[in-house]
Structure 1
Amino acid sequence: MSVFGHWIPAATLFLSLPAETPMPPRLMPNEVQRPAALRIPRGRQTFDAREALNGATATRRRCTEVPDAYWVPIPGGGACIRTYPAANRSGGGTMLVYLPGDVLLRGRGGVRLIAGSYARRSPADIRQEMTGWSRNGGVPAIFIARPGLYGSSGNHGARRRIDEVRLVDGALDRIKARYRVSRFILAGQSGGGHLVAALVNRRRDIAAAFIGSGLVSAVEVMRAYQARRRRDAGPVEDPNAVYDPIGHVGEIAGPGPDIFVLSDPGDRIVPFLSQRHYVERLRSAGRHPTHILLRGEGRSRHLLAEPMKAGAALYARGEDAAAISAALRAMAPLPSPPEEAQH
């Protein structure tokens, strides 16, 4: 789940924790991270919130001990990127790829902490999820753990920057070679949607991209939040440090992939207007995205991971945009269809 800043005049950045939530590990605004050597959880062992908060280090040699992981070098360093594959050989050269959202939260005054759900997940949970997705799509599926999360080394606190994009891009190259993939169907929720949009700008082997509540106009959202953050006096991320997918849509090569943008107009985490601006920019660049308006889960109306994965599976089975749109609207209908619905 991504928890990026939003327009609403709240004193928290991202999400507020329920009162009954146990005190999670946290970092104060000026407290430095203390990265440690990468852990290797297996089976039902759960992921470590402290590791996600502080970052994890790894070497190329350490990476060889991590199941289904790839050492990806980038300028100035590299990271061990862990994956969770579910093979279904009937799919030929197509593979479904899932990129998860952010788990870093910022509380009042800029206190940093990790979403409670993160430390309840395990490798076995992810593998089970990918197995079901692969079965639904009839092709292999894989979960790519973003840098600093779910068993990958790196720093989740430095997400949305070009290095994160390069690391995931490099992981896709290694996955492509290992599994002899000819085309990918990418799906990313929120912060994972930021990566999907970034990869669309860089790669020629993407058949389709599904972006759920995506942080696709990152600078727009961050600057708007920055203006509202002053009352809380906590630090904010520098908008100039992020990779902004909307600013690079002109780099999409050739006919490009089929792009599906899933949004809830009531999203309280990533503003709907920022997602609509991305769709409009794609259209101005001669692309033909499918914009599907749905109701997101929870009070934040932000989570669209399940319809997003369902849409990607339908695409893998050969359904067209109209059929996918109809199926997803039936799954997560808006309370009342907005007049501006476009598809």
Structure 2
Amino acid sequence: MTVMNENPTSQARFQQSGDTRRSARISAETVSTLAVAILCVALLVGARFISPSLGSWSQVETVLVLGSFLVVLSFGQGLVILTGGLDLSLPAVATLGGILATNWVGASDPGAWYLLPLVLLVCGCVGFLSAAGIVWLKVPPFIMTLAMSIIVSSLLLGYTKGTPRGAAPDAAVALMKGHLLGLPAPVLFLVAFVLLGWLFQSRSIYGRYLYAIGTNVEAARIAGAPVTAMRILPYVISAVSAGFAGLMLVGYSSGATLRMGDSYLLPSIAAVVIGGSSILGGRGTFLGTVGGAILLTTLGTIISAIGLEFGLRTIIEGAIVLTALLLLREELFQKLGSLWR
């Protein structure tokens, strides 16, 4: 699999076509991202009327720390969705990353930190296997990633015999519980991760390839894009992101469980779609995905602080997510733009 052999003509072609596509959708996607940000602020401000402790700076820090898990997971999921796919193996791969980190590294052997990249490599291999089945065996993404999720979960159950052991690596604990420059380390990490993710998806030639493939695979192939490699890459990145999120989770909770990633599957998809991405591929921005992830985390934090029962919480969360999706549809912005003009 080679990705680095694009010729300058191909890069220039995708530079021009990518700029044209972005100029056509910049208005709707920018408005969508701003709308999500406004909704987040409105939720935090409105929460002040419920409880004085909600909406404070400490509450904002809590939301950003808790939201960092979903942001990392949603980055990989967003790349997969951008190419018209779907990754249902994220919970299992996140659990894989957390369990391998606690078993292979742990807190008892600080010198074994070099094994952490090996953990991410194993997670990336899971993503590669999913992509291989989708690209070469023509298995639908929904079926292939679901099958990989079941396989990984079953292997982890046998590996741990039902009870994960080991402690969180010191590096993961420092990342999730440390402070730097007066701010929680996860907040600073989140800022750096968002910047790098935005540069990759929106400003690199590889990001333009993903947009082109999600819009029309055959047209991208004719234009000179390395279609096979760029269809595999999102699943590998998604798996590595999930594995890293697993490391973050064990650093935050100081341990791993067999179901630690289960609650992030649907939110990782919802964050991408709420952020303005098309579930059919070819459209979306990482900044919008970040906004969707923070919005969902803010909503969950406020509902938990209110103390509602789990069933009622689920109903309210689902209703608000559905409302956000309806309000942030591109057709709505087009109609508002036509009325304004």
TM-score scaled by structure 2?
A: 0.29
| Higher fraction of strand | 1
Rg comparison, structure with higher value? 2
| Higher fraction of helix | 2
- Larger RCO (CA within 8 A; separation ≥ 6): 2
